[in-house]
Amino acid sequence: MRLVTASANPAKVAEIAAILEPAGVDLEPRPATVPDVIEDADTLEGNARLKAVAIAEAVGRAAVADDTGLEVDALDGAPGVHSARFAGDERDEAANVAKLLRDLEVRGVGSARDRRARFRTVALVRWPDGLEVIAHGVVEGHIAAEPRGNQGFGYDPVFVPDEGDGRTFAEMEASEKHAISHRGRAFRTLAALLGAEGGEPSEDRSPPS
């Protein structure tokens, strides 16, 4: 199965490709002629759909998109759907992490127990006829006191998953992260729903609500 990716983030595309490759799904790059999509939905699913619809309509074939949010309990669920632009529209990853740590410091949140957080991903495939498949992935953890590691991207340097050994996602090898990550779970579920191993979509496709 071949899908056109809606993401223009090389690190994210590489991660998704690595997760889907064992299931027999190949990704095609986002066409350079498709303009950026304004992600102004109020949910992760809504933003994923906006991106997938734009690509599917532009190329006339199935497109895959995802949206991910980091939810920090001590910040009342922020940054959530605004994770990519937490520190501004520039999508500066380092600035986003710095703002996150600063906001926790301002609130006096110090212990790992009080810095509970989770990553949540919604992955979505959209066909030009409006049919789509949706999958979800979540991983629980906490926010580290300071960034650690140089792998991954986004908030990976400060997210410590519960199912790990105390390392942040940025300190893990890609295969270790994919095995337990929110994105890994969402896209493995998506591949199963698509019937990707057999090369054909399953009958689980459903029109958008």
The catalytic residue positions are: 67
Q: Which residue has the tokens 């991660």?
A: 15
Amino acid at site 18: A
List the structure tokens of 181: 């990550």
DSSP 198: G
The token pair at 34 is: 């498709």
Sign of CA dihedral 178, 183, 186, 187: negative
Q: Which residues pair with 161 in a beta bridge?
A: 141
Distance of CA 187 to CAs 88, 106, 181, Å?
A: 28, 36, 10
- CA atoms of 134 and 183, how far apart (whole Å): 13
